[in-house]
Amino acid sequence: MDSSSGSSSSEDEELTELMAAQDGHDRRRRPAEQSPSTTTPSLTSAQAARLYVSHAFSTWNARGYEFAAILFTAAAYPDTLVAAALRMIIIYLAMIVLSSSIGGWVQNAPDRLRTLLTTVAVNRTSVIIGSLFWLLILSQEDLVKGETVFVLPKNDGLKHVIFVVAVAFGIIERLSSSGNLISMERDWVVTVAAAPGRPYDLTHLNAVMRRIDLVCKPVSPILISVVISASGSVRIGVLYSALTSLVSIPIEIVSAKGVWNSSPVLRVPKSRKAPSGSGAASVSAPTPATGLAVPWTSRVRQCFVGFEMYFSTTVWVPSIALALLHFNMMTWRATFITYLINIGYSLPTITLARAMGSVFEISSTVATPLGIQYMGKAYGQHRSLAGEEDELEVGLIESNEQQQQQHTVDGQTLVGLQRFGLWGVSWQVLNLAPVLAALWAISLSREGREMTSSPASSTSPDWGWSLVIFSFLSFSRFGVWVFDLTTQQLTQVLVPEHQRSKFAGVETSVVNVFEILGAAAAISFPRTEQFKWLALASFVAVTVSWALYAGWVKGQRGHLLHWEKLGLWGRNARR
Distance CA 557, CA 179 (A): 33
What is the per-residue burial (b if ≥16 Cβ within 10 Å, else e) of 534-545?
A: bbebbbebbbeb
Q: Is 256 left (phi over 0), alpha (psi -120 to 50) or beta?
A: alpha
Reduce the DSSP state of residue 201 to 3 states and report it.
Answer: strand
Q: Is 344 left (phi over 0), alpha (psi -120 to 50) or beta?
A: left
Q: Report if pTM > 0.85.
A: no
AA letter at 101:
S
Contact between 489 and 417 under an 8 Å Cβ cutoff? The reply is yes
Considering the segment(s) 43-256 as one domain, its CATH architecture is: Up-down Bundle (1.20)
Distance CA 217, CA 60 (A): 8
Q: Single out the residue of 319, 322, 283 nearest to residue 303, CA to CA.
A: 283
Contact between 228 and 236 under an 8 Å Cβ cutoff? The reply is yes
pLDDT in single tens digits along all 575 residues of the chain = 444 444 444 444 444 444 444 444 444 433 333 333 344 456 788 999 999 999 999 999 999 999 999 889 988 988 777 888 888 889 999 999 999 999 999 999 989 999 999 999 999 999 999 999 999 999 987 777 766 677 888 888 999 999 999 999 999 999 999 999 999 999 999 999 988 888 899 999 999 999 999 999 989 998 998 998 898 889 999 999 999 999 999 999 999 999 999 989 999 888 655 444 444 444 444 444 444 445 555 555 666 677 889 999 999 999 999 999 999 999 988 789 888 888 888 878 888 898 899 999 999 999 999 999 988 876 555 454 444 444 444 334 444 444 445 455 677 889 999 999 999 999 999 999 999 999 999 988 887 776 665 554 445 677 889 999 999 999 999 999 999 999 999 999 999 988 999 999 999 999 999 999 998 898 888 888 899 999 999 999 999 999 999 999 999 887 666 545 545 445 555 55
Query: Can you count the helices (H) and strands (E) in the chain?
Result: 20, 0
Quick one: fold of 312-575? Answer: Growth Hormone; Chain: A; (1.20.1250)
Distance CA 122, CA 95 (A): 16
Q: How many CB atoms lie within 10 A of CB 46?
A: 11
For 539-550, the DSSP string reads: HHHHHHHHHHHH
Q: Looking at the chain, which residues constitute the CATH 1.20.1250.20 domain(s)?
A: 43-256
Q: Single out the residue of 331, 288, 287 nearest to residue 538, CA to CA.
A: 331
Helices (H), 387-410: 399-404
Distance CA 558, CA 146 (A): 68
Reduce the DSSP state of residue 23 to 3 states and report it.
Answer: helix
